[in-house]
């Protein structure tokens, strides 16, 4: 059935898209994205997609608005070119953080972007580790929600002694996610009391759980500016942790993140390639794991009508 399969990559994460294609044994399909002199985006599909099963890969990373528009226009162009089915592959859906109305007169932007993707012509969505699980329900089309927890857990299992390790949630909101991670490794967990002061500032209090003399693994869905991570590191050091490591699915690493992490008293950091990590962001203590095998398997199962959930059973 692979003759009917087409994979297009927009500009945010060519490396991941190429690796997915390589694992599936298909070549990346041809797409031209350019700009007119007035800065408007122009997208042209450069091969026949009529009655084909088409997948478009794009992470919503900086510049986020440009990358969202690239995907929307690409999906619309594919629909106009008579693609049979269009699946939006969004390894990192950044607007999942805008999942609720926690202030007056604001947009629940995670829902807005979901509506825009469907309006453009997306028939289904494939994504990974949304910041909030309820964002899954924002879409009016089927969504396959992958997780990199097994990938990151396997890295720690293969490289560290789990006998003295404890998984740490940076706040109560992340406890469910960290619970899945700790269960996968068979290690205990701890939770830190956190209060967010602003977008970049957090205030942390006591550690709930035993970390003294132990190897702590902070687990998050993403590392953005690194503010929460640095605060957590300081809290764990004060609580007597022997060593500190961090695992996160999305290594966004924006703003002051790299400077903060370079100087941080942390032993290792692990992220995945859902977000492209530029050479200038690749620290010695940073490891980037690939999730291409997981996306390739999910694409193959979607294309052939098999269960995607079976990947995690």
Of residues 165, 158, 172, 160, the one with CA closest to residue 188: 165
Are the beta carbons of 63 and 26 closer than 8 angstroms?
no
Of residues 161, 160, 156, 218, the one with CA closest to residue 189: 218
In angstroms, the Cα distances linking 294 to 100, 240, 246, 297, 307 are 29, 37, 21, 5, 13
Question: What's CA 92's distance to the chain center, in Å?
Answer: 4
**H helix or E strand, kind and range, residue 289:** strand 286-289
Q: How far apart are the first and last CA of the chain?
A: 25
Q: How many whole angstroms separate alpha carbon 150 and alpha carbon 73?
A: 34
* 194 noted as active-site residue: yes
Residues 6+ apart with CB under 8 A from 274: 13, 16, 59, 91, 92, 128, 129, 148, 249, 250, 251, 291
DSSP type of residue 12: S
Residues 6+ apart with CB under 8 A from 212: 239, 240, 241
CA atoms within 13 A on the CB side of 41: 19
The residue from 6, 194, 281, 285 that is catalytic is 194
Q: For strand 243-251 and strand 268-272, is the pairing parallel, antiparallel, or unpaired? A: parallel
Other beta carbons within 10 angstroms of residue 133's beta carbon come to 13
Of residues 62, 200, 87, the one with CA closest to residue 143: 87
Catalytic positions are 194
């Amino acid at each position: 059935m692979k003759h009917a399969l087409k994979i297009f990559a927009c500009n945010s994460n060519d490396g991941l898209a190429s690796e997915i294609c390589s694992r599936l044994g298909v070549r990346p399909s041809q797409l031209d994205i350019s700009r007119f002199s007035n800065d408007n985006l122009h997208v042209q599909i450069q091969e026949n997609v009529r009655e084909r099963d088409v997948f478009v890969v794009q992470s919503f990373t900086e510049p986020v608005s440009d990358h969202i528009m690239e995907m929307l226009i690409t999906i619309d162009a594919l629909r106009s070119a008579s693609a049979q089915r269009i699946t939006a592959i969004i390894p990192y859906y950044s607007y999942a953080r805008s999942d609720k109305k926690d202030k007056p007169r604001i947009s629940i932007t995670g829902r807005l972007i979901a509506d825009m993707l469907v309006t453009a012509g997306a028939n289904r969505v494939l994504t990974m580790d949304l910041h909030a699980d309820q964002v899954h329900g924002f879409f009016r089309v089927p969504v396959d929600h992958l997780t990199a927890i097994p990938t990151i857990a396997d890295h720690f299992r293969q490289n560290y002694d789990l006998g003295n390790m404890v998984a740490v949630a940076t706040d109560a909101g992340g406890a469910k996610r960290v619970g899945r991670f700790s269960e996968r490794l068979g290690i205990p967990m701890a939770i830190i009391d956190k209060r967010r002061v602003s977008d970049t500032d957090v205030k942390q209090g006591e550690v709930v759980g035993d970390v003294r003399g132990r190897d702590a693994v902070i687990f998050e869905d993403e590392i953005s500016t690194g503010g929460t991570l640095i605060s957590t590191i300081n809290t764990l050091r004060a609580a007597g942790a022997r060593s500190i490591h961090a695992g996160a699915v999305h290594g966004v690493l924006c703003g002051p993140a790299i400077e903060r992490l370079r100087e941080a008293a942390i032993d290792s950091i692990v992220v995945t390639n859902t977000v492209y990590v530029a050479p200038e962001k690749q620290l010695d203590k940073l490891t980037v794991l690939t999730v291409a095998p997981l996306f390739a398997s999910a694409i193959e199962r979607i294309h052939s009508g098999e269960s995607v959930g079976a990947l995690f059973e």
